[in-house]
Structure 1
Amino acid sequence: MSDRRNVYFFYKKEDELLEKINSLIELARENEFRVVEDHTIANVIVSIGGDGAFLQAVRKTNFRSDCLYVGIGVDHTLSLYCDFHLDDREKMIQAMKESQIEVRRYPVLEVKLDETTSFKCLNECSIRSSIIKTFVIDVYIDDLHFETFRGDGMLIATPTGSTAYNKSVNGAVVDPMLPCIQVSELASLNNNLYRTLGSSFILSDTRKLTLKIVQDGNDYPVIGMDNEALSIRNVKQLEYGLSELPIKTVKLKDNSYWEKVKRTFL
């Protein structure tokens, strides 16, 4: 961290937190960190507010691979992206100064929409019917037609996103050191006409997943990107793969991903 001194703070300006946040900013300055107002010149981006704020911070700063992201929680809710708490300001500075932190690289999902628009996700990208009606998707792995899905939608998750929405639909929890994507069904319909695998499956970082929406009148799905929704009319195709540029986050040496999973779920 010694060569990373430009710090950008991402947070909601809530009155009950401003005093603590201002105290943290002042403490950073006292310890020779430069607090900047422009995230493009920062090499450390600090989100304050929990996992949701962390996802927003990464998205609003364009999934930068040339800086470190740091998550700070503000309450006692268990968090998978935040190693620090806002009340432990001295602990943060001490950890950075004494090299008690490690850098982790988290895979990022890259999605191309109708071969024109692309966007990224840190947790997951979901595609769901926007009306009370199932819709049909042809699923391709690379160039192989794998299955034809009919149901409420599909969910494509990264390893770090495997503990979020993916886990609630019985997907597997995946070690983030494995660069891969996980595909899970949302209320699939299996009968003599439509047959799917019926379970989540995992693809390596070299695979390409393509979802082609059958144009049968239900062509206006809701596309979820982490904790945001994207509404685009008449979607025909989505392509998924892992970005070549992961994001880098910091973690305490004694606070691994699996320790966080244990605290959160066990």
Structure 2
Amino acid sequence: MKYFVVDRGDELSLRLTEQFHRLAHSYGMEQNEEKPDIVLSIGGDGTMLHAFHRFQHLVDELWFVGIHTGRLGFYADWTPDEIGQLAKLMNTPLEESNLRIAEYPLAEIQFTTADGIETYLALNEFTLRGIEETMVAQLNINDDMFEMFRGDGICISTPSGSTAYNKAVNGGLIHPSLEAIQIAEIASINNRVYRTLGSSMILPKHHHCDIYPRTKKNVQLSIDHLYSQRNDVLSIRCKVSPDKKIKFARFRPFPFWSRVQKAFIGTEFH
């Protein structure tokens, strides 16, 4: 088993990283940054996003697993005191373990500029926001004009990312087994000139949306935690990635709705 660790960099995460290296060495596991079989994220959901973008070029070939060192994360299902158990399970032959692989859909984002097309993958979401002024953009769905948007911006989220920024802008929560993307408005303005749907929309796989921001206006673009400011983007196509998914190694059950309940409700009912 070849592995690599991405940690948050705080004292606890660094200590756990060193502990895992010792455990992995005792089991004969090999640390390999170039082509690991499994990537261990130690930190929070932000750490998992960093791990995903670091290894997205190998997304078809490896698994991810997370240890959370803060509050319960949606991507991390192990606690610091379980690191020994996790290391042992990672070294257990597949036929003897309870390993299940959970595959989550990703969003494919394509920027068209005068120089060509740039393609990116998002695990949580893509956002487009105005900078100096409110953003104006035409939104097409499946090549037909749908609306002319004016407001702070637009958020395109994956099902697993529906619990993140999408939820903060009143988008719905989607189970990650559904291959879809969600379009949510960020503070839209509705008047006689600009009229939007006013609620989030869910597009299934094989559908797409195109966003045409007003030309030569500075906008802020984000792919998960990665931000940039640009004024050269002519259009943005968003869809479910047709052939890429992230794979999580589940050595025990980690139900999505249980994570939602613990994160946002937290009350035990009897």
Q: Matched residues in 1 for 2:248 and 2:51: separation? A: 12
Amino acid of the structure 2 residue aligned with 1:65: D
Instruction: Summarize the Cα distance change of 1:130–1:184 in structure 2 as closer, same or farther, 3 Å threshold.
Output: same
Instruction: Summarize the Cα distance change of 1:173–1:87 in structure 2 as closer, same or farther, 3 Å threshold.
Output: same
State the match for 2:50 in structure 1.
56
| 1:149 pairs with 2:145 | no
Task: Using the TM superposition, give the Cα deviation of residue 192 of structure 1 relative to its aligned residue in structure 2, in angstroms.
Answer: 0.9
Q: Matched residues in 1 for 2:78 and 2:232: separation? A: 43
| 1:265 pairs with 2:264 | yes
Identity among equivalent positions (%) equals 30
Q: Is the 8 A contact 2:7 2:14 kept in 1?
A: no
State the match for 1:223 in structure 2.
221
State the match for 1:84 in structure 2.
78
Q: Matched residues in 1 for 2:104 and 2:224: separation? A: 14
Task: Using the TM superposition, give the Cα deviation of residue 234 of structure 1 relative to its aligned residue in structure 2, in angstroms.
Answer: 2.9
Q: Matched residues in 1 for 2:156 and 2:131: separation? A: 18
Instruction: Summarize the Cα distance change of 1:7–1:123 in structure 2 as closer, same or farther, 3 Å threshold.
Output: same
Between stretches 255-264 and 119-128, larger displacement belongs to 255-264
- CA displacement, residues 48-100 of structure 1 (integer Å, 9 cap, x when unaligned): 1110000010001125121101111123x121000112331122134443523
Instruction: Summarize the Cα distance change of 1:78–1:16 in structure 2 as closer, same or farther, 3 Å threshold.
Output: closer
Between stretches 17-26 and 107-116, larger displacement belongs to 17-26
Task: Using the TM superposition, give the Cα deviation of residue 233 of structure 1 relative to its aligned residue in structure 2, in angstroms.
Answer: 2.6
Task: Using the TM superposition, give the Cα deviation of residue 47 of structure 1 relative to its aligned residue in structure 2, in angstroms.
Answer: 1.2
Q: Matched residues in 1 for 2:72 and 2:66: separation? A: 12
- CA displacement, residues 141-189 of structure 1 (integer Å, 9 cap, x when unaligned): 1111111111111000000000000001110000100000000001111
Q: Secondary structure at the match of 2:65?
A: strand
Amino acid of the structure 2 residue aligned with 1:108: L
Equivalent residue for 1:68, pick from 56, 63, 67: 63
The structure whose residues are more often strand, as a share, is 2
Regions of 4+ moved over 6 Å = none
Q: Matched residues in 1 for 2:165 and 2:5: separation? A: 27
State the match for 1:251 in structure 2.
250
| 1:164 pairs with 2:164 | yes
Task: Using the TM superposition, give the Cα deviation of residue 106 of structure 1 relative to its aligned residue in structure 2, in angstroms.
Answer: 0.8
State the match for 1:29 in structure 2.
25
Task: Using the TM superposition, give the Cα deviation of residue 262 of structure 1 relative to its aligned residue in structure 2, in angstroms.
Answer: 1.0
TM-score (norm 2): 0.90
Q: Matched residues in 1 for 2:169 and 2:99: separation? A: 33
Q: Matched residues in 1 for 2:141 and 2:155: separation? A: 15
Q: Secondary structure at the match of 2:244?
A: coil
Q: Is the 8 A contact 2:5 2:17 kept in 1?
A: no
CA RMSD in angstroms, aligned pairs only: 1.6
Equivalent residue for 1:239, pick from 237, 240, 244: 237
TM-score (norm 1): 0.91
Number of residues of Structure 1 aligned to a counterpart in Structure 2: 256
- Correspondence 1:92-103 to 2 at 5 A: 92-96=86-90, 97=92, 99-103=97-101
Amino acid of the structure 2 residue aligned with 1:72: I
State the match for 1:6 in structure 2.
2
State the match for 2:268 in structure 1.
none
Q: Secondary structure at the match of 1:65?
A: coil
Task: Using the TM superposition, give the Cα deviation of residue 254 of structure 1 relative to its aligned residue in structure 2, in angstroms.
Answer: 2.8
Q: Is the 8 A contact 1:104 1:249 kept in 2?
A: yes
State the match for 1:108 in structure 2.
106
Q: Is the 8 A contact 2:41 2:51 kept in 1?
A: yes
Task: Using the TM superposition, give the Cα deviation of residue 252 of structure 1 relative to its aligned residue in structure 2, in angstroms.
Answer: 4.2
Amino acid of the structure 1 residue aligned with 2:41: S
Q: Matched residues in 2 for 1:191 and 1:176: separation? A: 35
Q: Is the 8 A contact 1:127 1:221 kept in 2?
A: yes
Q: Secondary structure at the match of 2:249?
A: strand
Amino acid of the structure 2 residue aligned with 1:61: F
Q: Is the 8 A contact 2:106 2:158 kept in 1?
A: yes
Structure 2 unmatched ranges of 5 or more: 266-270
Q: Is the 8 A contact 1:83 1:252 kept in 2?
A: no
